[in-house]
């Protein structure tokens, strides 16, 4: 839905999860009409809206956003855009920030000109949020999270998969309705430093178990130092479950 009066746009399209890098340079020709200076201006502003919207769509696709919606407003300057006898080129000067995307309209030739334009965009999407307050380092349960539409323009690491956040814990306490971010979530600590652990070594059909003491805390899959309770030998072991580790390196395995 495009409104040329105030140069705003709304677009809604579901995106798949794939990586698409934003274009560093966009170039398009906009044709003027002799004797009608307002026509190229309209074309330039509408094209800026379109290009800015495409940039937001690329950013949303790169982030894997679910059901993203975009709003774009081109800031209209009080300085009029002059007529141009040749096709006007549009360059994307800087579109890294959705809230401040800069473009330059260029009229070629000896009597040409350059006209800078600014577009402000925003992105909303269905993202994972908390349904109730959550304390730090507490594994998230299915009832603790839900999908909700939020403004994620300034949240590059939001998460759109509920199964992907269940079981993770936040490094800090969260309020109800807060957007979950990848940077603040981690696998829960299954083994604390100084706690007793069971060292389980498996090779082919043989399994050996012995007592040990964790010298480091660890989450599932992390490698920590463990002291063998019988021999006192310190080994590197991988956390496989709460209180259970396996040697990180088994000769001949």
In the chain, what are the domain boundaries? Answer: 2-124, 125-186, 189-247
Per-residue pLDDT, 193: 93
CATH architecture of the domain with range 189-247:
Roll (2.30)
Per-residue pLDDT, 24: 33
| C-alpha closest to that of 59 among 50, 75, 70 | 70
Are 20 and 62 a contacting pair, CB within 8 Å? yes
The fold of 2-124 is Thiol Ester Dehydrase; Chain A (3.10.129)
Q: How far apart are CA 45 and CA 33, in angstroms?
A: 15
41, 129, 137, 172, 204 from 186: Cα distances, Å? 50, 16, 9, 11, 32
Domains 125-186 and 189-247 equal at CATH topology level: no
Per-residue pLDDT, 250: 66
Helix (H) or strand (E) run with residue 128 in it: strand 113-130
Per-residue pLDDT, 41: 56
Give the residues of the chain that fall short of pLDDT 50.
1-40, 252
Q: How far apart are CA 192 and CA 51, in angstroms?
A: 52
The fold of 125-186 is Type Iii Antifreeze Protein Isoform Hplc 12 (3.90.1210)
Tokens of 219: 């989450």
Q: How far apart are CA 2 and CA 49, in angstroms?
A: 9
Per-residue pLDDT, 251: 53
Per-residue pLDDT, 73: 95
């Amino acid at each position: 839905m495009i409104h040329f009066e105030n140069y705003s746009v709304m677009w809604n399209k579901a995106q798949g999860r794939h990586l698409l890098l934003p274009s560093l340079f966009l170039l398009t020709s906009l044709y003027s009409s002799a004797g009608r200076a307002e026509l190229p201006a309209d074309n330039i502003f509408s094209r800026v809206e379109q290009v800015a919207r495409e940039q937001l769509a690329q950013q949303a696709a790169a982030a894997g956003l679910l059901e993203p919606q975009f709003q774009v407003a081109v800031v209209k300057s009080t300085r009029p855009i002059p007529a141009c006898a040749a096709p006007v080129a549009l360059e994307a000067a800087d579109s890294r920030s959705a809230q401040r995307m800069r473009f330059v309209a260029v009229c070629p030739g000896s009597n040409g000109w350059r006209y800078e334009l600014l577009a402000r965009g925003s992105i909303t999407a269905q993202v994972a949020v908390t349904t109730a307050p959550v304390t730090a380092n507490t594994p998230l349960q299915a009832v603790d999270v839900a999908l909700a539409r939020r403004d994620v323009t300034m949240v590059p690491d939001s998460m759109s998969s509920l199964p992907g956040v269940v079981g993770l814990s936040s490094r800090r306490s969260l309020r109800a309705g807060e957007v979950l971010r990848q940077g603040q979530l981690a696998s829960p600590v299954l083994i604390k430093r100084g706690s007793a652990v069971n060292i389980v070594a498996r090779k082919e059909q043989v399994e050996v178990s012995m007592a040990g003491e964790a010298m480091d805390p660890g989450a599932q899959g992390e490698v920590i130092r463990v002291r063998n309770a019988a021999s006192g030998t310190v080994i590197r072991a991988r956390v496989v479950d709460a209180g259970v580790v396996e040697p990180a390196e088994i000769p001949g395995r």
